[in-house]
Amino acid sequence: MTIEYLKRADRKSTDDASDVRATVQAILDEIEAGGDEAARKYAAKFDKYDGNVVLTRDEIDAAAAKVPMKLKDDIRFAWDNVRRFAEAQKETIRDTEIEVVPGLIAGQKAIPCQAAGCYAPGGRYSHIASALMTVTTAKVAGCGHITACSPPRPGVGISPAIIYTADICGADSILALGGVQGVAAMAFGLFGLPKADILVGPGNQFVAEAKRILFGRVGIDMFAGPTDSLILADETADPEIVAWDLVGQAEHGYNSPVWLATTHRPLAEKVMELVPGFINQLPELNAQNAAAAWKDMAEVMVVSNREELAQVADSYAPEHLHVQAADLDWFLGRLQCYGSLFLGEETTVAFGDKSSGPNHVLPTSGAARYTGGLSVHKYMKLVTWQRATRDGAKPVAEATARISRLEGMEGHARTADVRLKKYFPDQSFELTATE
């Protein structure tokens, strides 16, 4: 495959990643030792917030009253889509059992985590959609207790829209805490809440590092980096739509890669011509983010055919993959590595980010090679069970004894021997294997 780069990234999204691990570890250690008061101290230090941490019912209702009805309608529309998609996903995993050999029955059960902690960013942007995606899926999965957590603003608290969203989606508790202290509060079970079994949701590098450090003690959705998006396009694509789709994702931040691969060089050239002007139409902060991402992180490449488009996609393994080309069914069948796939110009990554239904918490930095995004399944443990009749246990015990001895694990072998002796005292067995 030959790729002609019309624009190549000046650096990778990890080039400016600072070593925050020591800082985050120190905060986690202090909060674990100091409990609620230590978490409050960091809320005051980093968020300039000294208000109530666990929101009361009156505070939640007061926040909901501040949300305009039209926005409530939009949030409920998105919530309904996310909920129904999660319910459909849950239906794909069912309890099952099989008679493996006569008399030996094995099965599978799907058991939800008892407690989930859902983080919704509230710094540069108030991520209503993150509360939608994380809390709703935890609720559909059947988690016993769901804590939603979001950074408060000085003298204001959490965005009323985030509070309203977390509440209607099913959060049992809402914490006005951000950053490492918010993650720690959910993981350590502070403020009278149950310890989270799983932590989910996007956040800045400090939130991501806190989840990384805590992984193992708790489950997490994934290790997340800056969001990234790839568009595959041919001569049928509309350059204006392609350009806006790139700009829309670049607005996430200065280190958010956006890529375009196309079989049509004139399209690539037109998109590169349009993007700077579209960026300048954004509000100042959004424009700064998008301009930096476009300058340092964006790539535009031309390839020969659609198979090469697919090869580019599989090699980049993008978080978001958007196909704006003919024969969408071919791409749906061919593409292998992506967090979420958007087919045709009639959909866009922003639809998935906000309201269309599939989850927007997705693998970044090439992780789509081996994992998918957040779903109702992430909150559920697939556990197995087995039971047997004595006759059913007989061939399994014989095989187990021989394999165990071949491996040198005599104790394992004896657990099989003792059952054969008890159940079949009048029979003899050859329980030593030779290589």
Catalytic residue IDs: 319-320
Rounded CA gap, 59 and 131, in Å? 18
Q: How far is CA 137 from CA 91, 186, 263, 334, in A?
A: 13, 17, 38, 29
**Nearest Cα to 136, choosing from 93, 188, 77?**
77
Identify the burial level of 222 via C-beta atoms within 10 angstroms of its C-beta, where 0-12 means exposed, 13-18 middle and 19 or more buried. Answer: buried
Identify the burial level of 420 via C-beta atoms within 10 angstroms of its C-beta, where 0-12 means exposed, 13-18 middle and 19 or more buried. Answer: buried
Q: Which helix (H) or strand (E) holds 22?
A: helix 21-47
- Are 267 and 231 in contact by the 8 Å Cβ rule? The answer is no
Cα distance from N-terminal residue to C-terminal residue, the chain? 48
- Are 206 and 295 in contact by the 8 Å Cβ rule? The answer is no
The CA R_g of the chain, rounded to the nearest whole Å, is 26
Neighbours of 79 (CB within 10 A): 20
Token pair for 344: 């045709």
**Nearest Cα to 4, choosing from 327, 365, 308?**
308
Task: Classify the phi-psi angles of 216: left when phi > 0, otherwise alpha if psi is within -120 to 50, otherwise beta.
Answer: left
Neighbours of 215 (CB within 10 A): 13
Token pair for 98: 């099989």
Residues 6+ apart with CB under 8 A from 158: 55, 63, 122, 150, 151, 152, 174, 176
Residues 6+ apart with CB under 8 A from 65: none
**Nearest Cα to 118, choosing from 63, 187, 55?**
187
Neighbours of 285 (CB within 10 A): 11
